Structure 1
């Protein structure tokens, strides 16, 4: 009979945040999770920085203009863990649904563009921080690190997630695909609300998401945000902003392995789209290519990844008394091995000296 994989009913939420109100947006998220679960969804995905809302203002003026908006957004960003994440975990457990949520995470005085992963048991599995904020975003978000390059094992499937223009970073995508996720969450801002580059953004997000489904041979939940009237009015404080942003944005969709739509794009409005993900259909592409398997040439082309966690401070480690060791005394195994190697080399050198001396003696006779 062979292996039989499950079919997962997945939902993508396209909704406007209540800018920049963490508690009200959290209440809205809870209601949307409950609504998705009520329609039978086992997994639900949200857009980039849904809580407390994407910082659209950073594209709409100079820092001196958006200073107050930044402060409001910063103070409403989400600490992990916190009461906010506890509530999300509780609603996931109560409704028996896996949740992937985009938040602006705050740690100390720095925020990060983050996805959090919660299983249906209400456990916070972990998070992914965007490794490189895009363009003006670097004024608001710090950098993720190597520990963010990972996938997550849920009860019935393996899932990955990337944020927005990370999907244009081919090496990042390849590092994720190499971990063989069956479902991928592509979490985007509602870039179509940006009046000056709405067409370019929508084209890019669609191409990147569908290409990821094709090369990664996985299902892609493309979760976009959108901007409502209240958000528009909050951002448009002068005529200058009114020329730069508009209502709507968002083109969420659910994409099958290979790149075809399972659920057609939902454009410029709020809603929930749902589709059944038959994980067995991934095998239909196995004979065609596997970019990280039989259709790869690691002997010619390979990717080096640093999956270590970045720390601002590190403790000073006392060096070994052995000046020649070149290693730290805390690493006993390496020190013992190096000491043994030095002793072996010393013996070899002594033997070589003896041999040379004997040959010189013979040559001089």
Structure 2
């Protein structure tokens, strides 16, 4: 297979309402697949919505803030979990169509929340990628991921993988993913502003792969809608009322070729962006730059990736 049809669903999440988000994601993904897409990408934390209040609400990071605590409780109560049956419609869509779907979500593991970019693939369980380092204020809500979720999916047309947001400025994370030989990489962002577009284009050039830079569209009013859907909270309502501005994430999604050129770019509103990829461009680009091959120096530089799950407590562990 030398041609691959891809799509980015640049859409507004339904903040806090995971059930509504799953329904919307399934509908949009099906529409994209019906239009010919063999791989579909959504932005960072589409399920649950990006926690805009951490950046936009004054005082959200203050110790014991009642609104921040209220939102955290809502997230814990509603976030997806391993083997979550609510995700079955997306899995069934993949199984029936043969398509691959990359979808951002808040995930709960025991008592912690993670930023997970799930890769749904036909006939197999979704592939996890938990964000290795939550950025700045995000550390108030998400636990760090570990090396156990650095991997790719082997599709019939090549390998697909994910990184999330500022992981694209982690040189060793990039090197590890390039070693896995991605054909198509999803760069999941809350919005693809200029510097995020630069990071995504750099990744495509460096890794000699196609990049789907997927962003969200989020408005202040979306927060109130989502809060109402999950039953409301006076403390969370007060937190959201403190946010200024209306449009907080502006999309800007793009599909990028292995030579860093932009094949397709979305605007600021909700839309599904389609593109056809010529996978032969990957091999052509490797003639001049292969950062995991002839442009590497394993005699000088060595990277060791620990792929063990780091749970902190190991029951029955023997030395």
The alignment's TM-score, normalised by the length of structure 2, stands at 0.89
Report what 1:359 is aligned to.
Answer: none
Judge conservation of contact 1:33–1:44 (CA < 8 Å) in 2. Answer: yes
Deviation of 1:224 after TM superposition, in Å, equals 0.5
Closer, same or farther: CA 317–67 of 1 in aligned 2, 3 Å: closer
Question: Could you list the per-position Cα deviations for residues 5-60 of structure 1 after superposition, in whole angstroms to 9, with x for gaps in the alignment?
Answer: 42110001110111111111111111101110111101101111111211112222
Report what 1:119 is aligned to.
Answer: 121
How is 1:279-318 mapped onto 2 (pairs within 5 angstroms)? 279-316=279-316
Aligned residue-pair number: 303
Deviation of 1:281 after TM superposition, in Å, equals 1.1
How is 1:1-365 mapped onto 2 (pairs within 5 angstroms)? 5-59=1-55, 60=57, 61-62=60-61, 63-121=65-123, 123-190=124-191, 202-228=193-219, 230-231=221-222, 233=224, 237=238, 241-243=242-244, 246-264=247-265, 266-316=266-316
Report what 1:196 is aligned to.
Answer: none
Larger Rg belongs to:
1
State the alpha-carbon separation in 2 of the partners of residues 208 and 119 from structure 1: 26
Closer, same or farther: CA 250–314 of 1 in aligned 2, 3 Å: same
Q: Which has the higher contact order (CA 8 A, sep 6+)?
A: 2
| Greater shift in the superposed pair: 85-94 or 38-47 | 85-94
| Greater shift in the superposed pair: 46-55 or 88-97 | 88-97
The structure where helix makes up a greater share of residues is: 1
Question: Could you list the per-position Cα deviations for residues 132-190 of structure 1 after superposition, in whole angstroms to 9, with x for gaps in the alignment?
Answer: 11111111111111112222212321011100111111111111011111110001113
Deviation of 1:236 after TM superposition, in Å, equals 7.6
State the alpha-carbon separation in 2 of the partners of residues 238 and 113 from structure 1: 22
Structure 1 segments, 4+ long, off by >4 Å, are 232-240
Deviation of 1:233 after TM superposition, in Å, equals 4.4
Query: RMSD in angstroms over aligned alpha carbons?
Result: 2.0
Judge conservation of contact 2:22–2:87 (CA < 8 Å) in 1. Answer: no
Question: Could you list the per-position Cα deviations for residues 190-235 of structure 1 after superposition, in whole angstroms to 9, with x for gaps in the alignment?
Answer: 37xxxxxxxxxx1221111000000000000011011136315468
Closer, same or farther: CA 317–81 of 1 in aligned 2, 3 Å: closer
In the alignment, structure 2 segments of 5+ residues that lack a partner are 226-235
The alignment's TM-score, normalised by the length of structure 1, stands at 0.78
| Greater shift in the superposed pair: 44-53 or 58-67 | 58-67
Question: Could you list the per-position Cα deviations for residues 215-262 of structure 1 after superposition, in whole angstroms to 9, with x for gaps in the alignment?
Answer: 000000011011136315468846973436634422100000010011
State the alpha-carbon separation in 2 of the partners of residues 317 and 252 from structure 1: 46
Closer, same or farther: CA 315–24 of 1 in aligned 2, 3 Å: closer
Deviation of 1:296 after TM superposition, in Å, equals 0.9
State the alpha-carbon separation in 1 of the partners of residues 129 and 77 from structure 2: 21
State the alpha-carbon separation in 2 of the partners of residues 103 and 55 from structure 1: 11
Closer, same or farther: CA 168–68 of 1 in aligned 2, 3 Å: same
Closer, same or farther: CA 131–171 of 1 in aligned 2, 3 Å: same
Deviation of 1:85 after TM superposition, in Å, equals 2.2
Report what 2:230 is aligned to.
Answer: none
Report what 1:353 is aligned to.
Answer: none
